[in-house]
Structures are given as structure tokens and as C-alpha cells.
A and B are shown apart, each in its own frame.
Chain A
Amino acid sequence: MTAPRDPNRLIDAFLSEGQTDLPDHVYDEVRTEIEHTGQRTVFGPWRNSFVNRLVAVAAVAAVVVLAVVIGLQLGAGGPLVGGPGPSASASAPPSVEPSTEPSPQPSAEPSVEPSTGVEPPFTCDLPITLVAVGSDFHPLITQDIRVGTHDGYDRIVFEYDGGTPNLELDLAQPPYVQNPSGLPLTVAGSPVYRITLTGATKYDMESGEQPYQGPTDFEPGFTQIVQFVEFGDFEATHNWYLGVNKGDCLRAFTLLDPSRLVIDIRH
């Protein structure tokens, strides 16, 4: 009779086996690559929450001071009678009403960043993947999600607070379900793509805040984007379905300051 074997010891032994040397050609390829690769410029520790709060407080204070100064200057030209504040000055057009509710539908105007001239070419090879870039050790918090249409392509932009997550963009096959509930989901458009953002979430677990409060189901009626709908935000993985009018090539890339992950769908 043999003594019972410890499974943990077996797992340790199993994982201890295998290659441990990186071949020289990989170092050589890295060296060749970095010879013509620059380093990203970093202006400050933007993801430090204390610094972020200081910056936010300073920005609010600056806006308040500016508003007071402008208000005083306008007030010096004549007394304000019954006005709620500087914005109610006579020079303001009466049709301009500040909206207090976020628009449920995105604007059909090219409200999302137009081409910057540094985008990669469109590709029809799927999946498209991007490797995460982050400056510290927490999931990236989604700051904004925008869709827009431009001459020749529709664009989706995810904005983050100091890095971009892993992206995988691939064709999705029905049935479409929500993650993690598994409940069915109807997605308009054909084909439908699945967007997986690993290392990102809308919820800031540390502060309990959710900076992005906008829509999670877009039906903008653009040339390509029929429906763009979230189907999961779980365990730092953010999932979306993208239904389009016709299958065409796409591209994905990142932009800096602020950190954005961009997906374009060619018309």
C-alpha cells in the first residue's frame, strides 16, 4: 500500500517543469524593435487618486472663480434684476437651455474624435487584439463611452483614466447572452461583433464611484453601427456586442491624453 499523494505537491511539481530560458533571438528582436520605438511621455501620476482629487478640486475652484469674475464684470455694466446668475444675462440667446438630463441617444454629428492621421489601416482579419497598457495595478475605470460617425467610418471610443485594457474584437455567434447571468439578449444588426475589454470596469471598487453614467445601449442609426450594447461588466472584464449593417473591415488603436481605445468600422 502506498501513502496518499498530496495534490498540491503534484501541482507544484507539474508547474516546476518546463522551459525557463528565453532564447537569444527574442532579445535580439526586442532590441531591434525598440531601436525605432519611442517611449510614451508621461506628464504626471494621473492615476493617483489623491492627486486626481486635488486636480478636480482645483479645477472646480478655478471655474467658480472665473464664473464670479465674469459675473462681477457683467454686473458692473448694469444691475441684474431677478436673474438667477451670470448665465441669464441679456446677451444669452433665449433658446439656449442647459440640459440637466444626459441625452439617451448619441449625437449623429461627428462628436467623437475625428481622424488624427496616425490610425493603423483597416483589417478584415479577425480577431483584432490590443495589449493592455496601464500604469499601476488596478483595473482601469471607464470614464466615458462615445460613438460617432465620420466620412468613411463609424467610431467607438472608450476613455480610461491612465491606460487602456486588453482588447479582443471578434465575430460573435448567436445566441447572444448577458455575462454572467446567461440571460438572452437580442442584438440588432448583422454581423454582430463581440468586444472584450479585459482589465477594465465601469465601477471604481476603491472609491465606490462610477464615473461613466451614460448609456450602455446605443442605437444611433449610423451608416454601420446598428446597435452597440453592453452585455457584461464582471470580474474586471467589460463585454459589448456591436451589431452593424454589413460586414466590413475594422481597426482598433489607442490614443493618449486622455487614454482612449478606439474602434472604427469602415462604411
Chain B
Amino acid sequence: MGWIERIAGPRLSLVVMHQALIERAKLGDRDAFDDLARSAGDRCMAIACRILRDTDLAEDAVQASLITAWRELRSLRDADRWEPWLHRILVNACYAEARRRRRWSSAIRMLPVEVASGRDEILTVHDRDQLERAFRRLTVEQRAVLVLHHYVGLPVPEVADRLGIPLGTAKSRIHHATIALRASLEADARVPSQERTA
């Protein structure tokens, strides 16, 4: 155990280490940035995958955002804002990937479903299919707010702050996206069971 951990505890020591890495990376230390990227990469991949619904596009978006983060790191004034700052770059990269590739409606490679064994299964295969279809019909901006709100767990004001959009816009996007997803589930509930299996 290091001196920081002995004095401040593991969580604070992690924050201090993170800030130290950012300061070193700002001075051009590529190894420090590599460590930062590896600590943030999985989280970024999870967000990008959920927004883009395509593993290849998500990898490209994360790669582009990490390179942009390296290039622009000196403009990050507050090291505590590293994660929100990186996530905003990531979401912008997702927008760019989505528009560049235009593969929403014809995506061949579906997001792999990884369901932990033994978990309480609340989604049926049909729910998953309906939600996937409805989600793909949303705009990429609506997907982003949904992912940050429902998956990352950010309150709506923080979603707006992180995306750089007015609070009303964030609320509106979440509202309309949620209505669309709910409608897909409710429409499904109205379909007779024999039609579902046809």
C-alpha cells in the first residue's frame, strides 16, 4: 500500500493518481495518456456500443475520441472534469461515425448480447427484438441522451451539461425517445400471441 492510500484511502488515492496522470499527459507524457486511455476505454466502449448499436462503429468512435482527447488535452482546465470532457468528445465522435457510415437501417452485424447467467431475466427475446428495432429508429442524439441517462445513470441536468445542450432539449429528447420505446413495447403487448410467433 502506498503512502497516499495509507493517508487518504483507496478511492481518494485513485483520484489523486488520475489527476497526476492527466498532468503528466498534458506535458506530453504518452505513457501517462496510455494509462488514462486504458482506465477509460472500457467505459467509453460500453457507451459507444449502446449509442451506435454496432461494435465496429463503436471501436472507431472510441479510437477517434481518444486521439482527439490526446490532441486537445491541454484545453482541459479542470482535471476533475476528465470523464465528462472525454464523454462529450466520445458522443461527438459517435455522431460523426453515425452520419459518416449511415448504416443504421442496414446494419448487418448486430450488437452481441451478453447476458450474465443466473441473472433475473426480465427481457424476453421478443422484448429485446422490439426494443432493438425501436432504438435503431431513434436519432443518434436521442440515443445519446437515453444512454447517458438510463445506462450511465446521469441525472438529466448533467446529461445536458455533458452534451452541451439546453436542459429543455435534453428533457425533450429523453421524453420522445422514451415514448417511442414504450410504444414499441405496448404495441407488442397488443399483438395476439399467434401473430408474434408467425
Contacts and interface: CB of A to CB of B under 8 A. Distances in A.
Interface of A: 5, 7-23, 26-27, 29-31, 33-35, 37-42, 45, 127, 129-139, 162-163, 166, 168, 196, 198-199, 205, 235-236
A21 B45 contact: yes
Interface of B is mostly: helix
B128 to A, nearest CB: 6
A21 B112 CA distance: 12
Nearest to A237: B141
A198 B185 CA distance: 31
29 contacts: A5-B122, A7-B182, A7-B185, A9-B122, A13-B123, A14-B123, A14-B127, A14-B132, A17-B113, A18-B49, A18-B50, A19-B46, A19-B49, A19-B55, A19-B114, A20-B46, A21-B45, A22-B42, A27-B34, A30-B66, A34-B33, A34-B67, A35-B30, A39-B73, A127-B99, A127-B100, A132-B96, A168-B96, A196-B99
Contacts of B181: 7, 11
Interface in B19-56: 26, 28, 30, 33-34, 37-38, 41-46, 49-50, 55
B41 A22 contact: yes
B107 interface: no
B127 to A, nearest CB: 6
Contacts, number: 174
A139 B164 contact: yes
Nearest to B132: A14
A33 to B, nearest CB: 5
A42 B75 contact: yes
Given A39-B70, A138-B164, 12 more contacts: A7-B182, A15-B150, A17-B113, A18-B111, A18-B112, A22-B62, A26-B59, A27-B38, A33-B63, A42-B75, A132-B92, A137-B88
